[in-house]
Every structure is written in C-alpha cells, then in structure tokens.
Chains A and B, each alone.
Chain A
Amino acid sequence: MREPTYLILTALASGPRYGYAIIQDVGELSGGRTSLLPGTLYTALDRLAAEGLVELDREETVDGRLRRYYRLTPGGVTALEAETARMRRLTTAAETRLRTLRPQTA
C-alpha cells in the first residue's frame, strides 16, 4: 500500500470525512510531508471505492458547495489494520536492530 493511500484510509479511520477535510487530515497526519491535491485524492478514492475499501456516507451542501462524506468499509478497516500491523512489524524490527547497533557505534 502506498503512503498516500495509507494516509487516506487513516484519515477516514476516525470517521466519515469529505474531500477537503481528508486533504487537511492527510497533511496533519504526515506532518506536512504529504500534500494531496484534489485530482490525486479523487483518483485514489475512485480506486479505493472500486476495491471496496471506502464508500459514500452522505452528501451535504454547505455555502452552495457539494460535500460528499466517505467512510471506511469493513474491508477498508481490515486493510488498514493489516497494513498497520505490517508497518509495526517493520518498525519493531528496525528498532531492534538499531538498539543492537548503538552500543557498538557508541
């Protein structure tokens, strides 16, 4: 799973979000490193919807602008959990090796 996809799923993990809110959330989650543009976001949402990982929650019109809220499907939750576990295993392995490396380099 690519990082922007992971960040979008993570943004939706705390509840339904609409387009711009997802962009903001992804920016915050990545510490400003990932700045999604709307074109990229909607291509990713199309793909995630086709894969059954996200779905439409509801629509609202605010100040004359259409907002569609998206949420994770159960499959999306599972995919996010699996990816998070995979990354955790990797970071744990990296931390373990770094701990063994530090005393030698100190």
Chain B
Amino acid sequence: MPVTSDPLARRYRRLLLCYPRAYRRARGEELLATLLEAAPPGRARPTAREAANLIGHGLRARLGRPRSRSVVTWAVFTAVICGLFTAALATRLAWETSPPMPDRAEAAAILADVLPGQQFAPGEIYPAETLFAIYGEPLSLNSVNDLLFGDGGEYALTATGASRTGFPSLPLDQTAAVAEQRLRDGGWTVYPATHNDMYGCAGPPCDPATIPQDTRLFAKRGNTTLELELYPQQHADSTYLAVSLSRTTPAAVWPAAVVGGLLGAAMGWLLFGWASRRTQAPHPVRVPVNVLFGVTMGLWWLPVLFTVPFMVEHHLGEPHPRWHPLWEWLGQPVFSLFLVAGCASALLGLALALLPSRRTQPQRVATT
C-alpha cells in the first residue's frame, strides 16, 4: 500500500497491520478506500469502534478459512494453552529473582523465636541449596528421565527444614499453641491450623474417631513462609515435629506471568493462523496437519483439564501462604511427556504446513 500524508489514512493503515500481509496486498487499498469514504469529513482518528472492528476482523483474517466458524474456537484454544505454558515458563524464570532459601543462621534464629522449647543445633537444620529441586538435586540432564517418565511431580520448590524425633518434651497441643502465639507476636501472618488423619481405615472394624490426627500450622512473614507439622508420637524413632522454611512467590512472578502469557497467546494465535492459512483446501497435507493439530491440543490440554480440579480441591482444602507455581496447575512437569510429545506433534504439523500450497493465499474473490 502506498504511503499517504492523510493522518486518518495513516492511522487506518496502522490498524490494517492486524490483517496478514497477503490479505493487505490483495484487499488493503479497497478496504482503506471504504474506510475513508465511510468516515465523516473532518475525522482525523479512527473511532474506538472502528479500531476494535479492524483489530478483531484482522485477527480473524489471519486464521484464513473464511467459511469456517469453528476456526476461531480452535485458534482461541491454541492461544490460551500457548499463553498458559509461556506464562508458566515466565513465572519459573521470575522465580530466579527470589532470595535464596533461608540459610542455617536465618533458620536457627526463626526456630529459636518460634519454638523456644526446641533447641536446634546448626547440624539439625538442613538448608536448601537451590530454589527448585528434583530428588534434592537441581535440574540437570541427569534428571530428564525422572522428569519425563513419571517422577516429574518430584520437581518442586525446596525448603530449609528441621525436625525432631523421639518423645516430645511438651504436649503437642501446647507446642502448637506456643508456636502460634510466638508467630503472631513476631509479626507473622498465621493461617488457621489444619488437622488430618495420620492414616485411613484399613478396613472394618474401624472407628475413625480413634485415628490420630496431625496438626499443621502455616505462617508467612515478608518473603518467608513457615510450615510446622506436629505428629502424634507413635514410636521412639518417629518424627513428631517438622518445620519447613521457604520463600513466598516473588513479586516479579505476577507481571512475568501476564507478559509471558500475552506474548505466548499472541504467538499461538499467529502460528495457528499461519498454518491454518497455508493449509486451506486444497493443500496436499491439510488432513495430516489437522490430525496433528488435534493430537497437539489433546496432549497439551488433557493434563491441564485433569490437574486443575485436583489443584482447586487441594488449595481449598488447606491454607496456602504461597500458591503452587503456575506450571503445577497445568500438570507440569508431572505430565511433561505429554507436553514434549505435543511440541513434537506441533512442530511436525508446522513443518508440513511449510510444504507449498496448490494455490495463492489468501482466497481471493473470484473474477469472471
């Protein structure tokens, strides 16, 4: 399209960038002429309604297949899942802005303050070396097998921990009450304590009222979270008290999720549109590409749809000073094999879409 000095035309041209290049080449001048003719004299800027209309229809034109009404739905599914995955990736990167996990000195000071009756020697405190770990080790090439084949759920945020075994010197109820009071006095936000059965009924006869219950106390202060677990003592070598100190979600995670999500959604939309336009009938690989797209969507969406209800139930079931990272909500890396297989399927589909089409895109209005 030629350059113009008319400011209104220039602004319309800018909005027409939402349409794919081939479409602009074919219809841009005509569309611009109609826009200018429809504009009342003296208008210098497109109205908000016009702008929204051009952006919406431009993005629709990027999907090609003008007869299809479902193509928009598929594009939305693609954009949303791509946005979710890139948002999750961005949040993982943003977690790197977190301070390291509490070291021995910090943990010892907190424990001495919160649990005055328990004296932890430095050797009884186990500081976490990394923010995230799988089986206690940072992610590396050696963890690929674990990550992909069933043990992805072991990749999790670490915590600096300390525990006690043997017989408690104070009744656990008293320990919990003292800890809760000390936490409040120390400026911690304390969440309601939870109590869960230590085990389920193995079979009748079973009186659920006789099953011992643990006590879990969650608290948050600044960028530190604390979880205190108290277990009714059953054996001389059983753990009756465990404390975990970890970090809250860094502030950078939220904007990173939004920016990463929007970029990923836009990328998903554009890639879907590109492949959709290229494989419009009568493209030789239209059917295989459609099948690969379906496989990709299944592999990417199924873990999300499977995981989200469990995560919602889990979050509602106990207090969370820190939400689980976004990728865990998406079923990652538990189902990372699905994600990787979906990526392979998507890449194969995109590669097939690169094959030359049998006609010029986009579909032009036929001349007689």
Task: Knowing A23-B38, A41-B34, say if A56 contacts B61 (CB, 8 Å).
Answer: no
Ranked 5 nearest A-B pairs via Cβ = A39-B57, A19-B34, A65-B33, A46-B66, A39-B53
Would you call B363 and A46 a contact (CB within 8 A)? yes
Task: Knowing A46-B66, A65-B36, say if A55 contacts B365 (CB, 8 Å).
Answer: yes
Task: Mark interface residues in B32-50 (1 if CB within 8 Å of A CB, else 0).
Answer: 0111111000000000011
Would you call A55 and B367 a contact (CB within 8 A)? yes
B187 close to A (CB within 8 Å):
no
Would you call B57 and A47 a contact (CB within 8 A)? no
Would you call A38 and B366 a contact (CB within 8 A)? no
B288 close to A (CB within 8 Å):
no
Residues from 38 to 90 in A contacting B, C-beta threshold 8 Å: 38-43, 45-47, 49-51, 54-57, 65-68, 70
User: Which of the candidate stretches B23-31, B107-115, B308-316 sits at the interface with the other chain?
Assistant: B23-31
**A interface residues (Cβ-Cβ under 8 A, vs B):** 18-20, 23, 37-43, 45-47, 49-51, 54-57, 65-68, 70
B58 close to A (CB within 8 Å):
yes
B54 close to A (CB within 8 Å):
yes
Given contacts A46-B365, A65-B37, 13 further A-B pairs with CB under 8 A are: A19-B30, A23-B38, A37-B49, A37-B50, A39-B50, A46-B61, A47-B67, A49-B66, A55-B367, A55-B368, A56-B365, A66-B29, A68-B30
**B interface residues (Cβ-Cβ under 8 A, vs A):** 27, 29-31, 33-38, 49-50, 53-54, 56-58, 60-61, 66-67, 362-368
Would you call B363 and A49 a contact (CB within 8 A)? yes
**A70 closest partner in B (C-beta):** B365
Task: Knowing A49-B366, A70-B365, say if A38 contacts B61 (CB, 8 Å).
Answer: no
Number of cross-chain contacts by CB at 8 Å: 82
6 A–B contact pairs at CB < 8 A? A20-B37, A38-B50, A42-B27, A46-B365, A50-B67, A57-B368
Task: Knowing A20-B34, A56-B366, say if A42 contacts B57 (CB, 8 Å).
Answer: yes
Q: Nearest Cβ in chain A — how far from B357, in angstroms?
A: 15
**B60 closest partner in A (C-beta):** A43
User: Could you tell me the dominant secondary structure of chain B's interface residues?
Assistant: helix
In the complex, which of the residues B27, B38, B363, B366 contacts A55, with contact meaning CB atoms closer than 8 Å? B366
Residues of A within 8 Å of B57, CB to CB, are 39-40, 42-43
Task: Knowing A19-B34, A43-B66, A49-B66, say if A54 contacts B365 (CB, 8 Å).
Answer: yes
Would you call A39 and B56 a contact (CB within 8 A)? yes
Residues of B within 8 Å of A67, CB to CB, are 30, 33
Residues of B within 8 Å of A37, CB to CB, are 38, 49-50, 53-54
Q: Nearest Cβ in chain B — how far from A84, in angstroms?
A: 22
Would you call B365 and A66 a contact (CB within 8 A)? no
Would you call A51 and B54 a contact (CB within 8 A)? no
In Å, the complex CA distance between A66 and B53 comes to 21
Would you call B53 and A56 a contact (CB within 8 A)? no
In Å, the complex CA distance between A43 and B362 comes to 12
In Å, the complex CA distance between A45 and B30 comes to 12
Residues of B within 8 Å of A23, CB to CB, are 34, 38
Would you call A56 and B368 a contact (CB within 8 A)? yes
**A19 closest partner in B (C-beta):** B34
**A20 closest partner in B (C-beta):** B37
Instruction: Choose among A40, A57, A68 the residue with the greatest number of B CB atoms under 10 Å from its CB.
Output: A68
Task: Knowing A43-B66, A46-B66, say if A38 contacts B35 (CB, 8 Å).
Answer: yes
Q: Nearest Cβ in chain B — how far from A54, in angstroms?
A: 7
In Å, the complex CA distance between A35 and B27 comes to 21
In Å, the complex CA distance between A46 and B26 comes to 12
Q: Nearest Cβ in chain B — how far from A40, in angstroms?
A: 6
In Å, the complex CA distance between A23 and B36 comes to 13
Instruction: Choose among A45, A46, A67 the residue with the greatest number of B CB atoms under 10 Å from its CB.
Output: A46
Q: Nearest Cβ in chain B — how far from A36, in angstroms?
A: 9
